[in-house]
Structures are given as C-alpha cells and as structure tokens.
Structure 1
Amino acid sequence: MLFLTAAQAAPPDPARVADRAVAAATANVTARAGQLPWIQRFRPVRNTWELGLYSGVWSPSARHEFYQPNLAVAGYGHQPLARAGADIGLRVGYYPLSFVGIELEGGVIPTTAADGQRATLYTLRPMVQAQLPYRISPFMRAGLGLVGISSPVLGKDVDTSLNLGGGVKFRVNHRVALRLDVVDNVTTAFGIGKARTNNVEALFGLSVRLGKAKARLVAPALVVIDSDGDGLRDPKQVGVLQADEDLCPKQPGPPTNGGCPLTDGDDDGLLDLVDMCPVQPETINQIDDLDGCPDSVPPVQK
C-alpha cells in the first residue's frame, strides 16, 4: 500500500481545471445554440414587456361619423375624409405568458376632409393579443378603443370602436422584433340607425423587448453522458473537449489516468502507471525497489 500511495500522480492544477471548465461551457453553449431550430430562436417568454412604434396607412369609410354637427354654421357637418392618411403611433405591451399579452396603442392620423381642409384623427386602443410563441409569431388582436377627430370643418368628436385584427412578428434577435398589423376599426356609420363602418389600417412596426435575460432564450441544457460516473465524459459527444473525454468510459478511474482504473498487473505493489515492468514483479531487495522490475543483489567481490 505504501508503494501504491507513492505512485499516484499529483492532483491536477486548479488553474488548468478552471480553464477546461470555461472552455467546455463555451463549447456547450455554442453547440446548444447551433442545435436549436431556427424557428425557436429568440422565441417569446413569459413576464416580459414590449415597447414599440409604428407607422402605416389609415383608410376611413366614406360613411364615417367622425364629426360634430353644428347647425348654426352653414356647410358645417359630415363630409368624407381623404381615402388614405398617414398613421403613426406608439405601443406598450405586457406578456404574462409567452403566448398572450395585453397592449395599449396610441396613434395620430393627419389627413384632410373632402374640401381640402385639415382633419386630424387620433386613436387610443387597449387590446388583448394572442400569439404563437415562435421566432415568427402570427397573432390575433381584439379590443375596445376610441377614435377622435379635430378639424376646422368637422369639429371635435370622439367615438368608441371595436378593434379586430391580426398580423405577424419576426424576432430579429432576443431584443428586437419587426411587426405587421392589419386592423379593422368598427365604428358607428353616418346617418340614422345602428349601421357600422369599417376603417382599416395597415401598420408596420418595430418593438423592443424588456425583461428576461438572453440566457433564458437559448436551447435547453445539453445532456452529457458519463457512463461510469468518474467525472470524465464519454467520448465523441457534442460540447465535450477532447481533454475531458474518458479513455475507459465503462470503467471508473481518476482523471489523472484518463478515466481508466489504476491497475497493478504483476501485483508487486506498483501501479502499471509508473511500473517500468508491468508484467514482471519487483524484487524487494533495497536495489531500485521503485522501478517495478526484478533484480538481484550483485555478488560480493573477493
């Protein structure tokens, strides 16, 4: 046992072990990112916020009711708006789950009335949004909001609207997403009765996601196999450095011996790792007793 203890190599250098651990972790993360399907990269996660801006086109109904009648002023009343107006705005959203969230939009639509005079519409729309939790995310949206107008010829008016629509998001990375929305603002129609009009928007936007760290968005942890449980990994696995591969994956052994068990083939008390004659037992005679080879005492010269 004395020989066995003396023959064991010194423990590995802690600095070298740390370097190996860092290199292995880097290789493992790279491998995981490479294995993650493209459609699942940067996918949404729960408990996040999104801030965004958008621009687009508003197409009002010719039978809209965005005006304030004033019978005391000649010619003051309903008239159609321009067939299309620019649409700009901001939005904020909170997603308690990866596939559903609530958003609030506010926008301004500068346009003109049929007689060429200025008319400015504005919108305020809370909504619920349901999306597929992938890098490309089709979604549906619905909510009740307000559409207002301010115009020298149409006056000031605010109407409620039912907002129905949908679209798609594309996540460029874990923070930034591009977004396309098509929205139908259903409001009261001009005239007597309960008729409704459809005021359609096409919006292109950019969103920035806040909340979860990037590390939560990579692939699930890669399973690394260590069949014999000795701390070294079975060979030829993704993310495992060659220096950390087990030379004997089915037999436990110390890292200093490549994961192979320490053996003493000739049973002379010296491990094969340091035994110069691993199949021939050492002769204990105070002559080179630590080389593991048989020898004899030289004859005494007379």
Structure 2
Amino acid sequence: MIEVPVSLFSLRPIPVGGLALAGVVAGYPATSTAGPTGGATKHDASDGEKATPVAERPWIRRVVPARNMIEIGVYGGAFFAADDHDFYDPATAPQKPLWKVGIGDWGLRFAYFPLSFLGLEIEGNVVPTFARTATNDPVLLYGFRGHPILRLPGYRISPFALGGFGLMGVRSAMDVVGRDVDPIAHYGVGVELFAHRFVALRLEGRHLMGAKAARQNDVTHHFEVLFGVSFTYRVPKRPEPPPPPDRDGDGFVDAKDACPDEPGVAPDGCPRRDTDGDGFLDRDDACPKVPGVAPDGCPIPDTDGDGILDPDDACVDEPETKNGYQDDDGCPDELPEPVKEFSGVIEGIEFDFNEATIKPESKPVLDKAIEVLKEFPEIRVEIVGHTDNVGTREFNLELSRRRAEAVRDYLVRGGIDPSRLRVRGAGPDEPIAPNDTEEGRAKNRRTEFRILTKDDEPDTGPKDRAKGQAQ
C-alpha cells in the first residue's frame, strides 16, 4: 500500500515576520485572520456553507463538489467489445471480431457543473485494438460523446451517474474492417474523490449500446471500465452589483423617491405631511397650505372679507360696517340717531374750575346718555377728557383723566356696566382750536365720547385708564 503523506494535502501556516501565510488545507484556500495571539485562523469559502475553520471540518467534508465548477481530465481504462459489433465497413463483411480487451481506452474530458450536483460533460477517446485474425491486424476505435452527470454533493467522495449519446468510429486496412462511424448510447455509474481543491480522481463503469453486426434494428453491448484524473477549477462568482442607493432607507430607491433624503411611504417615498398644521394630511387636505377644518381641511369661508365667517354672517355678500353697533351680525349698518348724538364732543358737561367735580347743570346731559346706553346695550364708549394749555402739561393730563373718570363713575351709578366704558385723559395734547384766544381755549376744554368697536382693546383697569397720560 502506498500512503500519501498528510503534508501533501495539509499545509500549515508558516509565520513570516509576524504574519502567517496560510496554505491549502485539504484543497480549500485559507484566509488569514489575525487571532488573539497574532496567529491565523483559516476559513473555508465553500459553496453555500458558512465560513468554518478547516481544522474543525471532518475530512469527508473538507473538499466537496461546488457550483460553477469546471473539470478538465484525462482517463484510461479497458474497452470490452462485443463479438457481434458493427465496427466495420459493410464492404468487408462479414465483420471480424475484435480482441476482448484492446490496448487500453484513452480519452480526454471536459465538464461544467453549474450546480454542485448537476453538470454536462463531453469526451473524446481512442481504443487501439486488434482484429482476431490470423495476423492480428491493428484496428483503431475512436469516439466522441456527451452526457449529463448527476452526483452527490456535500462530500469529497461523490457517487455519480451519467447517460448520453455519441458516435463511435473504426479505422483499419480495407481488407480487415475498413472504416465506419455509427451512433452509440451509453450510461454508467462511478465515484469521484476530491483529493485536493484542484485535483479529483474518478473510477467508473459504463454500458455502451450500439447496432449489432449487419442487423441495424438489433442492439449489441459493449462495456468500459475507466479511471481518470481531473483538474478542477471553480469559476469565481461575478460580484453582485450594489443595490441602487436609498439614502433615507425607506425602501424607495433614490431614482424613484420623490423625497430621497426623508424617509417616506407609498406611493412616492415622501413622508406624510401636514403643511398647514391643521391635522389633515396634505393628501387628504383640499387646502394643504391653509389651515382648515372638517370635512376637507379648508378654512371656513368669509365671502365678504369682513372677518365674520359665512356660517355666522347674516349678510354673506355684504361686509359688516364696524362702527361699534351690531358689529357681530356681519351686515352693513349705521349708528342709530340717538347714539350719534353721544358720539364726539358732548356739549353741556361742565366741571368746577381746576377740579373734577361735575356741575349740577351737566346732569341732564349725562342722564340722557345713560338712557341711550341702556337702550343700546351693545354700545361701548371711550370717555376722553381734554383741557386747554393753561398750566403745566402734567397737571392738565391728570385733571383730564380725573374728569373722564368722574363722568364714567356717574354713568356707572346710573346703571351702566363699567366694562362698557373706558377712560382716557388727553390733557392739552389734542386741541381742536387755537389756544391763543379765550374762545379757542373754551372749545379745547371738552369731554368726548368715542364709540368703541370690536377692534378696540377693552379697558382692563387703572393701567389702561392712565394710557396716554405719561408722555
């Protein structure tokens, strides 16, 4: 028995300058990966299997059939020809039987295995032999054939089966068997040993079926026993192209993503937006840029643009007249005549000199104002006190404010809600006549009522009442 040294199939890592060169272990390439101690760990890149240290694999699985494998081999063996063969030229009939075993059966083969268990193979062979004549004349058989191969994957010892068709011809002297070519079918079984990543050994037996001599409708049988050596090579896989970019990682490739930098959803890869922030997503919002309400996300319309929404507007197509009277109904209107009488300078309100005491003769005017304000409860009024320029500005501002408050207090005592009233002391700052004559100064000493509208800020206390005085 010839023992093959283990070192032939197992090359250990050789440390070189702190690195490890990993050789081939049982036919598999080893990739060097620095371990904790600076050594190398060998990993296998076999088809369909996770990288595993070769040393941990059982011997039977260290080298196995792989997909995309090419085998180029030579073989030799024995060809057993039937006596009633058809390897002859009919002109030389009757045919002469050949030696039972010629001088070997020699050939070349090429196989490609797209799958680890299935491949296609073609072969060409020659069989030098002799005719059984008195002079043992030489005869050369030759053939070309192809077949699929089905083999057991996953193990370095791989049984296989094959079957196919081809042509087989003969060449010899014309007085022996002449020349001829005939179709021939074959099938067989065998076993292949993957001794090394690049070397496989193969043993098989085949049954060949060809025409029987001079009787083309009958079959005769030949046999082969073959031993071969193949050189194996695994075609590298083409690297898969990188996936198309998807910068935002939302599953929509950038080329089809309308928002490539923002994760989104179908149909366009954009996020669900609510541009106007009204709670209606843009895709469901009939007015995506204007905040709105149900059912369509659009704002409630204000057809006449008066600030009163159509559902609350009694005059949808006519804007409200904002004059302080019925400003909530959305319709144009005018101040009632009684109210007009108490808008602007109110004649007849007199005060003691340099005091905020209302003179008794002023009461009829103020009582009339109370009646009008009670008749029109939606009216709100700002009471503004004015003075001439005699005296200091600070004194006049304070005096005008106190006089306006005195008027307000009288109205409140008469039953007017103080929330409807606002006061302001203008002092000498808003004259309506020149202050260089007594007549002009008398006109400037006045009390005004200004009708407040919804746009006017309500009086919120002493701070508002003093507004305009501290200049």
Scaled by the length of structure 1, what TM-score is found?
Answer: 0.60
**Structure 2 CA distance, aligned partners of 1:185 and 1:165?**
9
Equivalences for residues 182-261 of structure 1 within 5 A: 182-192=205-215, 194-212=217-235
Query: Which is higher, the Rg of structure 1 or of structure 2?
Result: 2
**Structure 2 CA distance, aligned partners of 1:151 and 1:21?**
62
For the 8 Å contact 1:68–1:77, the answer to whether it is kept is: no
Superposed CA offset, 1:4-63 (max 9, x none): xxxxxxxxxxxx9xxx96235723639711221222111011011100000000000011
Equivalences for residues 127-206 of structure 1 within 5 A: 127-133=147-153, 134-152=155-173, 153-192=176-215, 194-206=217-229
For the 8 Å contact 1:161–1:185, the answer to whether it is kept is: yes
Runs of 4+ with deviation above 4 angstroms: none
For the 8 Å contact 1:102–1:127, the answer to whether it is kept is: yes
- Number of equivalenced pairs: 191
1:23 pairs with 2:35: yes
TM-superposed deviation, 1:187? 0.3
Could you tell me which runs of 5 or more consecutive residues in structure 1 were left unpaired when the two chains were aligned. 1-15, 214-302
Deviates more, 1:26-35 or 1:121-130: 26-35
Q: 1:35: which partner in 2?
A: 56
Equivalences for residues 37-52 of structure 1 within 5 A: 37-52=58-73
Q: 1:281: which partner in 2?
A: none
**Structure 1 CA distance, aligned partners of 2:159 and 2:216?**
36
Cα distance change, pair 76–63 in 1 and its aligned pair in 2 (3 A): closer
**Structure 1 CA distance, aligned partners of 2:180 and 2:207?**
19
Q: 1:82: which partner in 2?
A: 99
Superposed CA offset, 1:111-163 (max 9, x none): 00011111000011111000001200000010011111001110111111111
Cα distance change, pair 33–146 in 1 and its aligned pair in 2 (3 A): same
For the 8 Å contact 1:93–1:103, the answer to whether it is kept is: yes
Superposed CA offset, 1:255-297 (max 9, x none): xxxxxxxxxxxxxxxxxxxxxxxxxxxxxxxxxxxxxxxxxxx
SS in 2 for 1:195: strand
For the 8 Å contact 1:46–1:95, the answer to whether it is kept is: yes
Scaled by the length of structure 2, what TM-score is found?
Answer: 0.39
For the 8 Å contact 2:33–2:42, the answer to whether it is kept is: no
Letter in 1 for 2:144: L
**Structure 2 CA distance, aligned partners of 1:28 and 1:167?**
32
For the 8 Å contact 2:80–2:224, the answer to whether it is kept is: yes
Cα distance change, pair 159–203 in 1 and its aligned pair in 2 (3 A): same
What percent of counterpart residues are identical?
A: 37
**Structure 2 CA distance, aligned partners of 1:46 and 1:193?**
41
**Structure 2 CA distance, aligned partners of 1:103 and 1:29?**
31
Superposed CA offset, 1:154-209 (max 9, x none): 01111111111010001111110100021111001113362211110000000011
SS in 2 for 1:201: strand
Letter in 2 for 1:184: H
Q: 1:109: which partner in 2?
A: 127
For the 8 Å contact 1:92–1:105, the answer to whether it is kept is: yes
For the 8 Å contact 2:66–2:234, the answer to whether it is kept is: no
Cα distance change, pair 32–192 in 1 and its aligned pair in 2 (3 A): same
For the 8 Å contact 2:140–2:170, the answer to whether it is kept is: yes
Greater RCO structure (CA 8 Å; 6+ sep): 1
**Structure 2 CA distance, aligned partners of 1:50 and 1:173?**
13
Superposed CA offset, 1:67-87 (max 9, x none): 0121xxxx6540100010111
**Structure 2 CA distance, aligned partners of 1:57 and 1:66?**
17
SS in 2 for 1:29: coil
Q: 1:122: which partner in 2?
A: 142
Letter in 1 for 2:201: L
**Structure 2 CA distance, aligned partners of 1:182 and 1:192?**
26
Could you tell me which runs of 5 or more consecutive residues in structure 2 were left unpaired when the two chains were aligned. 1-17, 19-31, 45-51, 237-471
**Structure 2 CA distance, aligned partners of 1:150 and 1:127?**
25
For the 8 Å contact 1:45–1:212, the answer to whether it is kept is: no
SS in 1 for 2:65: coil
Q: 1:96: which partner in 2?
A: 114
Deviates more, 1:53-62 or 1:25-34: 25-34
